Amino acid sequence: MNGRSAMRLARLQDVLAGGGTIHLSEAAKLCGVSEMTIRRDVAASDGAMTFLGGHLMMADNPQFAPVYDLDEQQGSHYLAKQRLCQGAASFIAEGDTLFIDCGTTLMPLLGMLDEFEELTVVTYALNVANAVGSLSNVRLVLLGGLYHHSSQSFGSGEMYDAVRRLGINKAFISAAGVDLARGVSCFHFHEVAPKQAALETALYRILVVDASKLGIVRPALFAELDAFDVVVTDAKAAPRLNARVGSEHQPPRVMVA
C-alpha cells in the first residue's frame, strides 16, 4: 500500500467512521480515481473495509454483521412492538419532554419522532441515545453512569435525583413482567431508580407491554399497576387487564394498539 492509496483509504474511512455506506461509484468520484482503484485500495485495507453489493463500509460495522445463529433471536415480536408503539406515539404532542425507557419494546417509537418539530427525550439507554442522537429535531438528555451490557443502559441508584431535576412531561415505561397483584417488574435492579423517578415526576405515565409479559413477576419490582395513567397493550392482554375489580385506586386506562 502506497501513500496515495493510504490517503484515499483514510478519506473514505473518515467519511464512513460514523457508520453508513457509500457506493463504489461515489467513492471513486470522491477520490477522483477509477472504481478499480478503490477496489484495490479496499482489498489492501487489511480487512478494515468491505463491500456489500457495491456499497463500501467499515468492516467492523456491527449493523452489517450477518445473522447466522437464527434460532437464538426468535421470540421477540417486532411487528407487535411496532403496533404497540404506534399506539403509544398517539400520546406525544409537539414540544413534549419524554422519558423513554430502556429495552427493545420502545425502539420503534423513536422512528416516529421525526414527525414533530421539536421534542426533548430523556433516557438512560444507549440504544435509545443512538437512535435519537441522529434526529436533529430532538433534544437528547442521556442519564449516564455505569454501563450494563444486559440492558444496554446506564446508571444505578444515584440516577433517582438526576431524573427528578428534569421537567419530564410524559414517561414511556416498558417492563419485563406485569402482575395484577404484585405489580410491574423488570430484570435488573439498576433500572428501578430511573423508572421510579420518572413515574414520580412525569405528568403522564404510559406503560407499554405486550401480552407475553402478563402474569409474570421479574426480580426487580418497581411499581404498582395503578402508578400508570395508561397501559398500551395488545388485544390479547386487554381483557385480562380490564378484568380487575374492587380496586380502591384509580386504575390505568387500557389502550389496545
Partner DNA sequence: CATCTAGTGTTATTTTTCTAACATTTTTTT
Partner DNA sequence: AAAAAAATGTTAGAAAAATAACACTAGATG
CA-wise closest residue to 142 among 156, 158, 128: 128
Residue type, 41: D
List Cα–Cα distances, 189 to 40, 141, 227, in angstroms. 51, 22, 18
Closer residue to DNA in complex, CB, 24/254: 24
CB of 134 to a second copy, least distance (A): 5
The separation between CA 112 and the C-alpha centre of its own chain, rounded to angstroms, equals: 12
Closer residue to a second copy in complex, CB, 193/241: 193
CA pair distance 244, 207, nearest whole angstrom = 17
Binding partner selected for residue 63 from DNA, a second copy, none, CB under the kind-specific 5 to 8 Å limit: a second copy
Binding partner selected for residue 40 from DNA, a second copy, none, CB under the kind-specific 5 to 8 Å limit: DNA
Binding partner selected for residue 2 from a second copy, DNA, none, CB under the kind-specific 5 to 8 Å limit: DNA
Closer residue to a second copy in complex, CB, 55/244: 55
CA-wise closest residue to 237 among 72, 77, 37: 77
**Per-residue buried b or exposed e for 66-103, using 16+ beta carbons within 10 Å of the residue's own CB:** eeeeeeeeeeebeebbebbbebbbebbeeebbbbbbbb
Number of residues that bind DNA (CB under 7 A): 20
Q: Is 68 one of the binding residues for DNA (CB under 7 A)?
A: no
Return the residues of window 16-55 that contact DNA according to CB under 7 A: 23-25, 32-37, 39-41, 51-54
Binding site for a second copy (CB under 8 A): 6-7, 9-11, 13-23, 26, 30, 51-55, 57, 60-67, 70, 73-80, 104, 107, 111, 124, 126-127, 129-134, 136, 139-147, 149, 152, 154, 162
C-alpha cell, 153: 443502559
- Given a contact cutoff of 8 angstroms between Cβ atoms, the answer to whether 46 and 9 are in contact is no
Q: Which residues bind DNA (CB under 7 A)?
A: 1-2, 4-5, 23-25, 32-37, 39-41, 51-54
